[in-house]
Structure 1
Amino acid sequence: MPPAIVEDVLQGIPPSLQWPVKICLYTTIACYVLSLATGNVSQVDRIWTFMPAIYTAYFALMPLWPKISPLPLFPYTPEDVLPGVADTYNPRALLMASLTVLWMFRLSYNTWRRGLFNLQDEDYRWAVLRQRIPAWLFHITNLTFIAAIQNVILFLLGIPTYIAAFQQPGQLSTSDYILASLALLDLAIEFTADNQQYSFQTYKHTGVIEKNEWLGANLNWTPADATRGFITRGLWAWSRHPNFLCEQTFWILITLFPIVAPEAPPLSVIPTSSITPLWPLTPALVLCTLFFSSTLFTESISLSKYPEGYRAYQQRVAMFVPFLTPVWGMLLDFQGKKKAIDDYLFGQTSAKTLALKEE
């Protein structure tokens, strides 16, 4: 996109948002062009692990950046940004940026060990989507959702830190310490879920139980687990997607930092007076909507691969919230199905035997 057109797009955008919006525009264009050139639409997947950290770090470190960009796309803080924001480091924004960097390390490590940074790798769900919809519709989806909307979502994940930067607190509040502690716990649980999933997939494809140094990942997999085809043990016995649950929870916590802080979100960061007072919740709401839709699509694929088994898993274990899993268990017990399903999901029963028991 020519620089002149970019500058026209930036007209009317608050000075403190101009560089992030410019980066969002260029990454969207780059991802779309690369997807066309390579035939691989997973370009956004490869930058997902670090783009939120880049946006967050920009807002948290605005006093660090020069007033004028010395190089194309180099971060800068325009001169007309409020002096308190442009000249003073914000403890809340720095804390949020630190947590986001930890999130980036966790996700990048899990992405790397799964080989998903390989330029030839493409998320298996896109291949399934190609088969389910016409080619012209997939091209439109690639432009509008895969390249554009996903990059906008990555940009939105930095907005809570943007709001916090303008609150200008002199020190951290009680809510900051509570939310930070919950975020660290959430990352630890998500890391454990990642490790259990990786350990299971390694055993499923190799038949060898590799000693895993990570806490919570050394589960004694059995041939029945591999035959079943999907993980049902550890955290996955309580939630069908504990990693997705933690991912959403992390960004909900990040979104709450400036909202529950003693300092109200300043009016200067609100684009227009007509926007609902709930607009600071937008990053979390948009991400949760994306994950819910993505999870439904992912589960439809799992159901097509393991019709009897995964349907039993859906009946027994909650999609996200672990506290609902005992409730599903009680309902199945009332119907007289709990033992058969538990034997299959957590024992040595085959899917064929499960189907016979339910008849």
Structure 2
Amino acid sequence: MPPILVFRLLRGTFRWPVKICVATTLVSYILSVITGNCSQVDRIWTFMPTVYTAYYALLPLWPRSPPLLLWPYTPEVVNPAFTQRYSPRALLMLGLVTIWMFRLSYNTWRRGLFNLYDEDYRWAIFRKQVPRWFFEVFNFAFIAVIQNIILFLLGLPTHIAALQQPEQLSTSDYVLAALALVDLLVEFIADNQQYSYQTFKHEGVKSDKQWPGARIDWTPRDVQRGFCTRGLWAWSRHPNFLCEQTFWIIINLIPLVAPESPKYDLPPTSMAPIWPIAPALVLCTLFFSSTIFTENISLSKYPVAYRAYQSRVAMFVPFLTPVWGLWLKVLGKKEEVDEIIYGQNTVEHTKRD
């Protein structure tokens, strides 16, 4: 990154967010070393994007100098035009991201992942697959540093919106906000269906306190299969991941498709045009690579059933699932694959499945 760009980032509206990003990176890494648990960033993932979003959406609220260490503030060098009144677009985005935060925090809480010693099962598996020194480097470089940078990037769309000063919201704002709310609702349903399935799988009982959309009559065959294939999961192998990426793509688009031209608190360099789409690109790349790793783990546990699931149901986009079903029908394999994935008759499974 050119020195002039670093200087401009630190002197303008990025000064406080950069300080917070550095602080959360150091704290999460130190805690991961002390506890032997690499999921410390996962616990702040639920609210840090909202913190960055709130900072930009509420720029007029902050003092010109911090009264306390790490207290949010707006440096004197920031253009007063952006600190004298609130941007309705940025406030709308703050509202959407806050709803996103409550959904994710609730799902994280009920799964017990706010415990400092509860670690994502994937890190434990990855730790066994690589040399110790490599995992320690990976823990610092990727888990601590890069993921905190991604959290910082998720606030950039609201930064752009905060520098736009429309008198009122436009049609695109209302349309994209409605799509974002629908997306969050679908993601909430996907989370609930997965939680309902996992509860039945591990406890063997159906809870009477399930959210609407997750009241599925699970069977012993579902448990034998080992993973959820009903509800939204019959159409997408990762409907929650699809919705998560879609939500941040929508957030990214809100200030970019608005009638007002995007404004940046950046010097005029060749890098400037890629900044507005960086959050969506980086997040989708992260989710895709993470999904590949997750599916490799599932394949090792359920080689026959999960391979059939992959051949029948799309990874993300549900519209492809009927196409793949049609292709399996042409090959004469659809009935066999459907029985493995959706069948409810109890069967004896071998260890390979």
The residue number in structure 2 matching 1:39 is: 36
Q: Aligned to 1:252, which of 230, 240, 249?
A: 249
CA contact (8 A) 1:332 1:338 kept: yes
Offset of residue 351 of structure 1: 7.6
Please name the residue that 2:207 is paired with: 210
Q: Give the counterpart letter for 1:109 in structure 2.
A: Y
Distance in 2 separating the partners of 1:166 and 1:73? 23
Alpha-carbon distance in 2 for matches of 1:241, 1:271:
39
State the match for 1:185 in structure 2.
Answer: 182
* Residue of structure 2 aligned with 1:200, choices 171, 181, 197: 197
* Structure 1 residues 131-176: Cα deviation after superposition (integer angstroms, max 9, x where no partner): 1111110001001000000000000000000011111111100000
Report the Cα distance in structure 1 between the residues aligned to 2:8 and 2:176, rounded to whole angstroms: 34
Query: Paired residue for 1:4?
Result: none
1:278 deviates by: 3.6
Distance 2:144 2:116 in 1: 16
Q: 2:228 aligns with which of 218, 226, 231?
A: 231
Number of corresponding residues = 346
Counterpart Cα distance in 2 of 1:212 and 1:86: 46
Q: Which of the numbers 130, 136, 145 marks the counterpart of 1:133?
A: 130
**C-alpha distance in 2 between matches for 1:181 and 1:12:** 35
- Structure 1: where are the runs of 5+ without partners? 1-8
Aligned to 1:18: 15
- State the Cα distance separating 1:81 from its structure 2 match: 1.1
Displacement after TM superposition at 1:265 (Å): 0.7
The alpha-carbon deviation at position 232 of structure 1 amounts to 0.1
Q: How far did 1:84 drift?
A: 1.8
Higher relative contact order (CA 8 A, sep 6+): 2
Which amino acid is 2:319 matched to?
Answer: F
**3-state SS of the aligned residue for 1:136?**
helix
- 1:240-264, Cα deviation, whole Å (9 max, x unpaired): 0000000000000000011100001
Q: Following superposition of structure 1 onto structure 2, how do residues 86-97 of structure 1 map, counting pairs within 5 Å? A: 86-97=83-94
Query: 1:272, 1:128 → 2: CA distance?
Result: 45
Report whether the alignment pairs 1:123 with 2:120. yes
Task: Output one character per residue of 1:161-192: Cα deviation in whole Å (capped at 9) or x when no partner.
Answer: 00111111111000000000000000000000
Aligned pairs for 1:294-333 within 5 A: 294-333=290-329
Residue 271 of structure 1: CA displacement?
Answer: 3.9
Structure-2 residue corresponding to 1:5: none
**TM alignment of 1:150-161, pairs within 5 A:** 150-161=147-158
Structure 1 residue 236: Cα displacement: 0.2
CA–CA distance in structure 1, aligned partners of residues 39 and 269 of structure 2: 37
Q: Aligned in 2, Cα 1:207/1:62: closer, same or farther, shift over 3 Å?
A: same
- Match of 2:277, as an amino acid? L
**Aligned equivalents of 1:154, 1:45: Cα separation in 2:** 11
Q: Does 1:275 align with 2:275?
A: no
User: What is the deviation of 1:11?
Assistant: 4.0
Equivalent in the alignment of 1:6: none
Which residue of the partner structure matches residue 113 of structure 1?
110
What CA distance in whole angstroms lies between the structure 2 residues aligned with 1:76 and 1:276?
Answer: 25
Cα distance, 1:12 vs structure 2: 3.5
Aligned to 2:340: 344
Cα-Cα RMSD: 1.6
Q: Gaps spanning 5+ residues in structure 2: where?
A: none
- Aligned partner of 1:208: which letter? V
Mapped to 1, the partners of 2:261 and 2:78 lie a distance apart of: 19
One-letter code aligned to 1:289: T
In the other structure, the counterpart of 1:76 is 73
3-state DSSP of counterpart to 2:83: helix
Could you tell me how far 1:77 is from its partner in structure 2? 0.9
How far is the alpha carbon of 1:323 from its aligned partner? 0.2
**TM-score, normalised on structure 1?**
0.94
Contact preservation (8 Å) 1:199, 1:212: no
1:10 Cα offset (Å) = 7.0
- For residue 66 of structure 1, the aligned residue among 38, 63, 67 is 63
Deviation at 1:119, TM superposition (A): 1.1
Alignment pair present for 1:29 and 2:26: yes
Q: 1:320 is aligned with what amino acid?
A: F
Q: Offset at 1:83?
A: 1.2
